[in-house]
Amino acid sequence: MPTPVTAPLTREAILASLATRTMGRSLRLLDITTSTNTAAIDAALSGAPDGTVIVAEQQTAGRGRLARTWISPAGRNLYVSIIVRRLPMMDRLGWLPLIAASAVAAAIRSLADLQPSLKWPNDITLGGKKVGGILCESQALGTDAACVVIGIGLNVNWLEPEMPPEIRPIATSLAEQSGAPVDRVRGLAALLLELERRVDQWRTAEITSLTEEYRADCGTIGQLVRVDLTTGAQVEGTAVGIEPDGALRIVAQKGSTLADHIVRSGDVVHLRSR
Ligand code: BT5
């Protein structure tokens, strides 16, 4: 009999499915927590090793960027945080959330016949709706204890009628898009495998192929966009590329002149394609 979509995640099933070298081999599976990122930061401060993974069935205070909420109902989706130590040069740090988004996109492609698109910086979308998001939080940068926690939320078997009305127009899930339930254990194993490969390369080797992969999957490039900057200001223009440090380059028309804007943090709204 197929596993019911609501079957709880188990440690045994996850460890049996993992194909990673280290990521997830140290695993904490929680029934309920405030935020897996908070749990991972606490674990990191207590010395949890590189590659430790915290997974929860439900989050009561799941976080997005800029203190926003990540809606995290029980038993449907994946809420995962990964501790990454042995960080490379600071100028690569900005790429980590983007590379994590590429890993989620690759995992989705390996699980179902779906074509995800990335919205800069790190939204994973299907059919123009958000299926996943990434929140990276760093600790003790510049010290021997430095680490980054990569938090990943991925909507798996959450169906539209179950979603709160306020996010129905903008959110989707793998099951909603593919028309069939997806095994969350397989999903988690695929995600960690794709992430481990990329984090290994990001840490130790040339990253051009990772940055090219991100650019290829990024649906923001070439779009007319509005960016709501964290300062409260807005920029409208055409997104023309990703800078060497992961920032978004926008060309805005001001009267008869063109002005370049480099955006390091903010929210992008796709207005229409050029
Ligand atoms: C993100 O923030 O997209 C980052 C989300 C990271 C969540 C993971 S879950 C595991 C780990 N533990 C945590 O506490 N967090 C991480 P942002 O770009 O700020 O997007 C947040 C916005 O997405 C919200 O304001 C809603 O509009 C929308 N949203 C909230 N929950 C959603 C969901 N489940 N699916 C799709 N969209 C959602």
Q: Is 30's C-beta closer than 6 angstroms to any atom of ligand 1?
A: no
User: Which residue lies with its CA nearest to atom 33 of ligand 1?
Assistant: 71
Which atom of ligand 1 is found nearest the CA of 63? 14
**Is the dihedral angle over the CA atoms 108, 115, 104, 271 positive or is it negative?**
negative
Beta bridge partners of 235: 227
How does strand 27-30 pair with strand 53-56?
Answer: parallel
CA–centroid distance, 88 to ligand 1, in Å, is 27
Question: Does residue 45 come out as left (phi exceeding 0), alpha (psi in the -120 to 50 range) or beta?
Answer: alpha
Q: What angle do CA 215, 265, 140 make, to 5 degrees?
A: 105
pTM of the model: 0.95
Beta bridge partners of 231: none
Q: Is 24's C-beta closer than 6 angstroms to any atom of ligand 1?
A: no
User: Which residue lies with its CA nearest to atom 23 of ligand 1?
Assistant: 70
Angle, helices 96-111/184-204, rounded to nearest 10 degrees: 140
User: Which residue lies with its CA nearest to atom 11 of ligand 1?
Assistant: 151
CA–centroid distance, 69 to ligand 1, in Å, is 6
User: Which residue lies with its CA nearest to atom 2 of ligand 1?
Assistant: 64
**Which amino acid belongs to residue 28?**
R
| C-alpha to C-alpha distance for 77 and 264, rounded to whole angstroms | 29
216-255: b or e for each residue (b if 16 or more CB lie within 10 Å)?
ebbbbbebebebeeeeeeebebbbeebeeebbbbbeeeee
Structure tokens at 242: 């990703």
User: Which residue lies with its CA nearest to atom 29 of ligand 1?
Assistant: 70
Q: Is 172's C-beta closer than 6 angstroms to any atom of ligand 1?
A: no
Q: Can you give the pLDDT at residue 123?
A: 96
| Whether the Cβ atoms of residue 138 and residue 148 lie closer than 8 Å to each other | yes
Q: Is 158's C-beta closer than 6 angstroms to any atom of ligand 1?
A: no
Total Cβ atoms within 10 A of residue 33: 23
| C-alpha to C-alpha distance for 5 and 7, rounded to whole angstroms | 6
**Is the dihedral angle over the CA atoms 78, 83, 87, 93 positive or is it negative?**
positive
């001001």: which residue's tokens? 254
CA–centroid distance, 134 to ligand 1, in Å, is 7
CA–centroid distance, 122 to ligand 1, in Å, is 10
| C-alpha to C-alpha distance for 83 and 192, rounded to whole angstroms | 12
CA–centroid distance, 63 to ligand 1, in Å, is 6
How does strand 117-119 pair with strand 123-126?
Answer: antiparallel
Which atom of ligand 1 is found nearest the CA of 133? 3
CA–centroid distance, 60 to ligand 1, in Å, is 13
**Which amino acid belongs to residue 164?**
P
Q: Is 36's C-beta closer than 6 angstroms to any atom of ligand 1?
A: yes
Q: Report mean pLDDT in 10-residue bins for the chain, 274 residues.
A: 67 97 98 98 96 98 94 97 92 92 98 96 95 95 91 97 96 97 97 98 92 94 92 91 92 86 90 65
